[in-house]
């Protein structure tokens, strides 16, 4: 480390971050100082060289970045580099006008080199070159990048709601955790801020080009006046001295400005993040044998035309044709295939041929196999692990592993989800395409294949990558094929949670609770209640979507009531009362006023008489059908209003009512009066059914 830098670091507390933090303020102070303080020629050379080097660094960073956020500080860099160039223009103008009469080296070696070597000492040539550079910078590059930045900023802001909904969908399906969701939301916000800043920062480049023209005119006019009026120079001599210096000064500033403009254009026009700009150009321009072959053939034919430079055209054409041939050979080469190990068998049947039925299985058509192949960037297995983890965190027990296998009997893009060998869900996915789900109320047409979301039955379209941005801006929730399948699996696991809790999972759950609270579980299971009865109680809770995460409250409730009854149905009812705050919060969220569906008094008396028995089978079929239809209609009305559909009934008939309405209105929750916490208020909403007593 430089001794002076080490001494400065020691004075600042030995923190390198402090020195880095001082870089921007010191640069601003130096820039402002150049505007007001006279600078010697050698210091001007230093700053001009630094300006050129900084412009090259910025352009190289822009070329090698993979996504715009990799260079998120670019709008600020654009401001500082523009300010640096303008301050150098002011400082050099002062030197040119004060000492221009002394000769071409008055403003330093850099300006002299640009004035003498690059344009041959001819200020007319310099003016033309400067004008061409300004046209390229101002009219072509700056104008185009400004328009791209404006459109990108608008499209990014319009697409934010759809991207946020996609993140929420991934989080709900268990593909990502809360930390990853926060990171993605932060990235979306930073992306919107970046393109918004670039939309405004592009005006810096535009203003810099205009300022360069004005400064050149001021230097020319001011130099001619000062040279002829104050130093008694002739018009020709004053033009050779001052105009040459002014043009050299303008070129020194314009070339870094052109580099920065090109960098800004590369940043805002960047598409994709799989490779840097050079890699993308090579992959997309030079990786097709057909493109190389046709281009080489055209150049070869042009080389045969009389009057053409034959050597150059024939050389380029032959080179491209050779490259096309080598590329074609690489494309025709088959990918390496790993041979499966051969298993020796004598053909006799064994017990190994008898495969157990999978508790939870996922069967895929052959086109979907790539989704579970890590060599083809398939991440379905990772998402399934996330689904199981999220299920365990929400529901309260670890579900069985998902056995994934191919099934040639399925159509190529179909999949099937099985539970204990029975199909519980099926659908189709198209790798490489996206499912645009209509959350409701969107009338924008999409170019794609109409379908329905397999998890929730919402209207949707399968679209390709080109339609993705349009769908997100229109308000559709756009997810990839892996997310569609993982969300469907997650939804079915939630619905079938009671069947997923087998004796094995119950025993593992007991062992897990034993490690956390050994004394609590040992007193209850299996001393007071058998493992089979404990499993049945948990399954009864899960059948009505009651999560069993609060195992401590469940065990304590069983310990309190297991001495008086061993009936799993009655024990489940009393456990529900103990879990009432959690059940209500699961349905309504953290609100204190609950809008519930009530039963018409006459119908309620009839139900009490019919369902308060042990079996609850004395209800008239006509009344049961009317009740189911009315419950379905009222539940749909509540959901359309955005209010949870929850029916409040007396304790004696809650279990029977829940069992009766489970098939016709699966999303309707049934609560007993004793399951409403004392901290909550009840507001009667719709009335269910009207009959005469």
Do the Cβ atoms of 19 and 9 come closer than 8 Å?
yes
CA 204/CA 394 separation, integer angstroms: 52
pLDDT on residue 20: 58
HSE value, Cβ hemisphere, 13 Å, CA-based, for 597: 22
CA 163/CA 477 separation, integer angstroms: 8
In a domain, 288, yes or no: no
pLDDT in tens, 478-509: 999 999 999 999 999 999 999 999 988 999 99
Element containing residue 536 per DSSP (H, E): helix 531-543
Whose tokens are 């099926």? That residue is 426
For the chain, the farthest-separated pair of C-alpha atoms sits apart, in whole angstroms, at 121
3-state SS of the chain: helix, strand, coil percent to 5? 65, 10, 25
> Which pairing describes strands 646-649 and 459-463: parallel, antiparallel, or unpaired?
unpaired
**DSSP codes, 447-501:** SSEEEE-TTT--EEEEE-GGGHHHHHHHT-EEEEHHHHHHHHHHHHHHHTHHHH-
pLDDT at 8 over 50: no
One domain, residues 562 and 430? no
Residues in Cβ contact with 118 at an 8 Å cutoff, skipping those fewer than 6 apart? 126, 129, 251
Band of pLDDT at residue 340, cut at 50, 70 and 90: very low
> Where does residue 607 fall: left (phi above 0), alpha (psi -120 to 50 degrees), or beta otherwise?
alpha
One domain, residues 26 and 60? no
One domain, residues 202 and 84? yes
One domain, residues 266 and 407? no
pLDDT on residue 426: 93
In a domain, 461, yes or no: yes
pLDDT on residue 554: 92
One domain, residues 437 and 563? no
pLDDT on residue 2: 47
pLDDT on residue 63: 80
One domain, residues 431 and 448? yes
pLDDT at 338 over 80: no
422-428: strand order across its sheet: 403-406, 360-364, 414-419, 422-428
Whose tokens are 């991207």? That residue is 163
In a domain, 80, yes or no: yes
pLDDT at 530 over 80: yes
- Answer with the residue of higher pLDDT: 281 or 83: 83
**Reduced to 3 states, what is the DSSP secondary structure of residue 593?**
strand
From 302-316, 387-401, 525-539, 634-648, the region with the lowest mean pLDDT: 302-316
Band of pLDDT at residue 440, cut at 50, 70 and 90: confident
Band of pLDDT at residue 100, cut at 50, 70 and 90: low
One domain, residues 136 and 264? yes
- Answer with the residue of higher pLDDT: 673 or 134: 673
Q: What is the CATH number of the domain that holds 686?
A: 3.40.50.12790
One domain, residues 513 and 445? no
One domain, residues 187 and 78? yes
Instruction: Specify the number of domains making up the chain.
Output: 5
CA 519/CA 524 separation, integer angstroms: 9
Of 135, 50, 300, 96, the residue nearest 218 (C-alpha): 96
Cis peptide before 390 (omega within 30 of 0): no
What's the average model confidence in pLDDT over 551-574? 90
Domain end position, chosen among 498, 532, 565: 498
In a domain, 75, yes or no: yes
In a domain, 42, yes or no: yes
CA 130/CA 215 separation, integer angstroms: 12
In a domain, 317, yes or no: no
CA 603/CA 597 separation, integer angstroms: 13
Of 659, 497, 494, 676, the residue nearest 569 (C-alpha): 659
From 242-246, 337-341, 409-413, 661-665, the region with the lowest mean pLDDT: 337-341
In a domain, 250, yes or no: yes
pLDDT in tens, 341-363: 455 555 677 776 677 788 899 99
CA 92/CA 127 separation, integer angstroms: 18
Domain end position, chosen among 210, 240, 272: 272
Do the Cβ atoms of 692 and 602 come closer than 8 Å?
yes
Average pLDDT, the chain: 81
- Answer with the residue of higher pLDDT: 527 or 417: 417
Do the Cβ atoms of 449 and 436 come closer than 8 Å?
no
pLDDT at 12 over 60: no
pLDDT in tens, 212-241: 778 878 877 887 787 777 777 777 777 767
What's the average model confidence in pLDDT over 158-184? 76
One domain, residues 63 and 124? yes
> Which pairing describes strands 422-428 and 593-599: parallel, antiparallel, or unpaired?
unpaired
One domain, residues 494 and 544? no
CA 266/CA 65 separation, integer angstroms: 10
One domain, residues 63 and 182? yes
From 93-97, 272-276, 465-469, 511-515, the region with the lowest mean pLDDT: 272-276
In a domain, 172, yes or no: yes
Q: What is the CATH number of the domain that holds 571?
A: 1.10.8.540
Q: And the tokens for 538?
A: 């948990």
CA 284/CA 298 separation, integer angstroms: 20
pLDDT on residue 443: 81
Q: Which residue segment(s) compose the domain that 248 sits in?
A: 38-272
Domain end position, chosen among 477, 498, 519: 498
pLDDT on residue 493: 93
pLDDT at 157 over 50: yes
Q: What is the CATH number of the domain that holds 485?
A: 3.40.30.60
Of 677, 681, 611, 600, the residue nearest 634 (C-alpha): 600
pLDDT at 16 over 60: no
Of 578, 560, 583, 562, the residue nearest 658 (C-alpha): 583
Of 417, 458, 410, the residue nearest 169 (C-alpha): 458
Measured at the CA of 300, the angle between CA 298 and CA 305, to 5 degrees, comes to 95
pLDDT in tens, 297-325: 888 888 888 888 878 888 888 888 888 88
């Amino acid at each position: 480390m430089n001794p002076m830098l080490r001494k400065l670091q020691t004075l600042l507390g030995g923190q390198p971050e402090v020195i880095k933090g001082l870089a921007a303020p010191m640069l601003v102070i130096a820039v402002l100082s150049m505007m007001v303080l006279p600078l010697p020629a050698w210091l001007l050379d230093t700053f001009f060289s630094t300006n050129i080097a900084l412009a090259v660094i910025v352009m190289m960073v822009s070329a090698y970045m993979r996504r715009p956020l990799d260079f998120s500080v670019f709008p600020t860099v654009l401001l500082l580099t523009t300010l640096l160039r303008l301050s150098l223009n002011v400082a050099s103008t002062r030197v040119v006008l004060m000492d221009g009469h002394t000769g071409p080296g008055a403003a330093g070696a850099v300006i002299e080199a640009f004035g003498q070597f690059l344009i041959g000492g001819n200020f007319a040539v310099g003016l033309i070159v400067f004008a061409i550079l300004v046209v390229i910078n101002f009219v072509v590059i700056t104008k185009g990048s400004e328009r791209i930045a404006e459109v990108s900023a608008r499209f990014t802001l319009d697409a934010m709601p759809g991207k946020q909904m996609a993140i929420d969908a991934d989080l709900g399906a268990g593909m990502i955790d809360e930390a990853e969701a926060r990171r993605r939301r932060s990235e979306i916000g930073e992306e919107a801020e970046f393109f918004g800043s670039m939309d405004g920062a592009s005006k810096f480049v535009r203003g810099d080009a205009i300022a360069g023209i004005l400064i050149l005119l001021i230097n020319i006019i001011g130099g001619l006046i000062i040279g002829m009026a104050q130093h008694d120079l002739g018009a020709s001599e004053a033009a050779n001295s001052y105009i040459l210096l002014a043009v050299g000064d303008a070129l020194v500033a314009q070339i870094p400005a052109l580099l920065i403009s090109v960098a800004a254009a590369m940043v805002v026009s960047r598409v994709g993040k799989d490779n840097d700009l050079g890699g993308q150009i090579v992959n997309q321009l030079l990786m097709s044998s057909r493109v190389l072959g046709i281009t080489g053939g055209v150049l070869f034919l042009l080389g045969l035309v009389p009057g053409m430079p034959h050597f150059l055209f024939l050389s380029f054409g032959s080179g491209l044709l050779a490259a096309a041939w080598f590329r074609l050979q690489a494309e025709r080469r088959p990918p390496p295939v790993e041979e499966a190990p051969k298993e020796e068998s004598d053909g006799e049947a064994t017990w190994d041929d008898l495969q157990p039925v999978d508790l939870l299985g996922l069967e895929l058509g052959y086109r979907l196999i790539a989704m579970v192949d890590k060599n083809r960037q398939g991440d379905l297995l990772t998402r399934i692990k996330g689904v199981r983890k999220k299920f365990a965190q929400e529901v309260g027990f670890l579900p069985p592993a998902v056995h994934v296998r191919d099934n040639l009997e399925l159509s190529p893009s179909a999949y099937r989800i099985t539970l204990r060998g029975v199909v519980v869900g099926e659908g189709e996915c198209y790798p490489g395409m996206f499912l645009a789900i209509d959350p409701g109320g969107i009338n924008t047409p999409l170019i794609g294949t109409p379908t329905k979301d397999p998890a929730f039955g919402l209207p949707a379209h399968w679209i390709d990558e080109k339609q993705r941005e349009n769908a997100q801006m229109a308000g559709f929730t756009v997810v990839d094929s892996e997310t569609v399948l993982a969300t469907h699996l997650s939804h079915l696991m939630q619905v079938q949670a009671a069947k997923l809790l087998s004796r094995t999972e119950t025993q593992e759950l007991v062992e897990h609770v034993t490690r956390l609270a050994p004394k609590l579980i040992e007193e209850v299971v299996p001393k007071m209640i058998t493992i089979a009865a404990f499993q049945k109680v948990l399954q009864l809770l899960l059948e009505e979507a009651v999560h069993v995460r609060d195992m401590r409250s469940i065990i304590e409730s069983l310990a309190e009531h297991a001495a008086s009854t061993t009936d799993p149905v009655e024990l489940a009812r009393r456990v529900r009362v103990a879990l009432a705050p959690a059940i209500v919060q699961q349905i309504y969220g953290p609100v204190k006023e609950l809008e519930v569906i009530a039963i018409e008094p006459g119908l309620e008396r009839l139900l009490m008489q019919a369902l308060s028995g042990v079996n609850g089978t004395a209800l008239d079929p006509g009344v049961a059908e009317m009740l189911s239809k009315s419950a379905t209609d009222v539940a749909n009305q509540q959901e359309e209003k955005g209010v949870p559909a929850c029916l409040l009934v007396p304790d004696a008939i809650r279990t029977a009512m829940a069992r009766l309405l489970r098939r016709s209105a699966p999303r309707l929750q049934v609560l007993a009066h004793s399951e409403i916490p004392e901290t909550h208020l009840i507001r009667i909403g719709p009335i269910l059914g009207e009959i005469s007593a």
